[in-house]
């Protein structure tokens, strides 16, 4: 080929080079888009398969078919290995099967990824509680209370705090339970069932004043809640507010005659109110009859407790022998005539009655009937 022809070919090539490069670039773009599209389709199919398995797992988890749920969430993770919710649901399923060690491994990994996740902290708290790891359980429970929750965070946090209270009561940490309950009560919704539940927990924590307050709030909305009536009666009874206890217990027994405990407390409350000689505006004759009955009952209690013959030589003022001697010396004077002639005997006689009831309670256990009523009356007048 001549030099001239070669030059012509080169000029022809150079004129078309941009066109060729453009076509090649366009082809590359088309291929890139196609590959990207195929990749997204493949990824979407993978996600779709993972979601299908997860949906099945969630349904089985709700129905507590934990073994099936475990398999389904494991299948879902094959398609999305790092999916947070899949791992969390798998952990919950494993907990349902009581495979807590496996669940813990997933949960601690999730906690490291999101330490502010409320549900993860709650599940870790439950595992720690089951293992008896009190300090760790408390830490996770408190984390859960102040963590992030989906939906209504206040309701979720309240539920966690109530669960924490139940945990504290189970380990007999009543003071700590009371503190948590006070925090719950301060932000409690106007829900009679929830107020009654908090009242129940206050009762278990032996915070009777707050328990009574919650029951009374509950009963404002639902006057006929039998459990709340019984709870209010018990709380008032423990506070020594026997007239109020009588009111609530009467209503509880009337609504549920089979409530033997409320019925027994009602009888005791009525007896306390009837046998307290120091009630205001009580007629003198009635007061004297109460003292006579109480004095006789205390003497019988002292005898039945077998303390006189087991004094062991103890002659202190509150020894069984001394109490028996004092009762015997005072007994002839404890009559209607004697009390009329010497009104100061009322207080002296009741002081001895209270001493006997306290002493026999310590030696022979909690009494019943009249003696229980007298013991409770003595507590009402301690220090007077």
Q: What is the distance between the alpha carbons of residues 208 and 181, in angstroms, rounded to a whole number?
A: 12
* pLDDT at residue 312, rounded to an integer: 45
Element (H, E) at 129: helix 118-130
Confidence check: pLDDT of 278 > 80: yes
| pTM score above 0.85 | no
pLDDT tens, position by position, 65-94: 999 999 998 989 888 888 999 999 999 999
In whole angstroms, what is the distance from residue 61 CA to residue 70 CA?
9
Q: Check pLDDT > 70 for residue 313.
A: no
> Does the pLDDT of residue 304 top 80, yes or no?
yes
53-57 contact pairs (CB < 8 A, 24+):
53/79, 54/83, 54/85, 54/86, 54/89, 57/86, 57/89, 57/90, 57/93
d(CA 73, CA 19): 54
Q: What gap in Å lies between CA 319 and CA 21, rounded to an integer? A: 117
At residue 384, the pLDDT reads: 65
- Burial (CB count within 10 angstroms: exposed 0-12, middle 13-18, buried 19+), residue 370: buried
Q: What mean pLDDT is predicted for residues 56-60?
A: 90
How far apart (Å, rounded) are the C-alpha atoms in residues 367 and 359?
11
Mean predicted lDDT score pLDDT of the chain: 87
Please state the rounded mean pLDDT for residues 100-127: 95
For residues 343-359, average pLDDT: 94
336 has a pLDDT exceeding 80:
yes
pLDDT of residue 308: 43
17 confidence band (pLDDT: 50, 70, 90): low
Please give the pLDDT value at position 62: 92
Give 243-276 pLDDT, tens digit per residue. Answer: 999 999 999 999 999 999 999 999 999 999 999 9
Nearest to 301 by CA among 345, 362, 344, 348: 362
Residue 271: the pLDDT is 97
pLDDT at position 18 is 65
> What is the average per-residue pLDDT within 164-177?
97
User: Within 13 A of 313's CA, how many CA atoms are on the CB side?
Assistant: 0
pLDDT digits (tens, 9 = 90+) for 190-224: 899 999 999 999 999 999 999 999 999 999 998 99
pLDDT of residue 50: 80
Express as a percent the part of the chain with pLDDT over 90.
68
Q: How far is residue 95's CA from residue 124's CA, in Å, rounded to a whole number?
A: 11
Residue 383 DSSP code = T
Cα separation of 236 and 253, whole Å?
15
pLDDT of amino acid 23: 63
Structure tokens at 48: 């779709």
pLDDT at 311 over 50: no
Is residue 14 scored above 70 in pLDDT? Answer: no
Mean pLDDT of 116-145: 96
CA dihedral 15, 17, 22, 24 (to 10 degrees): 150
């Amino acid at each position: 080929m001549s030099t001239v022809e070669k030059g012509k070919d080169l000029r022809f090539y150079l004129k078309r080079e941009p066109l060729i490069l453009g076509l090649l670039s366009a082809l590359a773009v088309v291929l890139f888009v196609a590959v990207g599209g195929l990749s997204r389709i493949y990824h979407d199919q993978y996600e779709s398969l993972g979601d299908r398995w997860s949906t099945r797992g969630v349904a089985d988890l709700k129905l507590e078919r934990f073994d099936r749920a475990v398999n389904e969430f494991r299948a879902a993770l094959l398609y999305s290995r790092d999916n947070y919710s899949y791992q969390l649901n798998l952990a919950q399923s494993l907990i349902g099967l009581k495979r807590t060690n496996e669940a813990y491994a997933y949960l601690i990994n999730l906690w490291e990824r999101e330490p502010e996740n409320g549900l993860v902290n709650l599940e870790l708290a439950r595992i720690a509680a089951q293992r008896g790891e009190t300090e760790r359980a408390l830490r996770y429970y408190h984390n859960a209370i102040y963590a992030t929750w989906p939906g209504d965070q206040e309701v979720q946090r309240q539920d966690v705090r109530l669960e924490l209270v139940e945990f504290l009561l189970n380990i007999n940490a009543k003071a700590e339970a009371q503190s948590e309950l006070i925090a719950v009560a301060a932000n409690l919704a106007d829900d009679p069932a929830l107020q009654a539940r908090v009242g129940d927990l206050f009762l278990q924590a032996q915070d009777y004043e707050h328990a009574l307050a919650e029951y009374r709030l509950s009963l404002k909305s639902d006057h006929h809640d039998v459990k709340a009536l019984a709870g209010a009666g018990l709380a008032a009874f423990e506070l020594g507010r026997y007239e109020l206890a009588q009111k609530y217990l009467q209503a509880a027994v009337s609504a549920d005659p089979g409530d033997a405990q409320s019925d027994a407390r009602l009888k005791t409350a009525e007896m306390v109110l009837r046998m307290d000689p120091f009630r205001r505006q009580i007629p003198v004759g009635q007061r004297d009859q109460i003292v006579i009955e109480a004095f006789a009952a205390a003497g019988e209690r002292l005898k039945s407790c077998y303390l006189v013959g087991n004094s062991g030589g103890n002659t202190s003022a509150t020894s069984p022998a001394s109490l028996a001697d004092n009762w015997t010396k005072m007994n002839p004077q404890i009559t209607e005539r004697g009390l009329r002639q010497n009104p100061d005997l009322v207080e002296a006689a009741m002081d001895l009655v209270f001493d006997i009831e306290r002493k026999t309670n310590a030696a022979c256990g909690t009494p019943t009937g009249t003696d229980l009523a007298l013991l409770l009356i003595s507590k009402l007048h301690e220090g007077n």
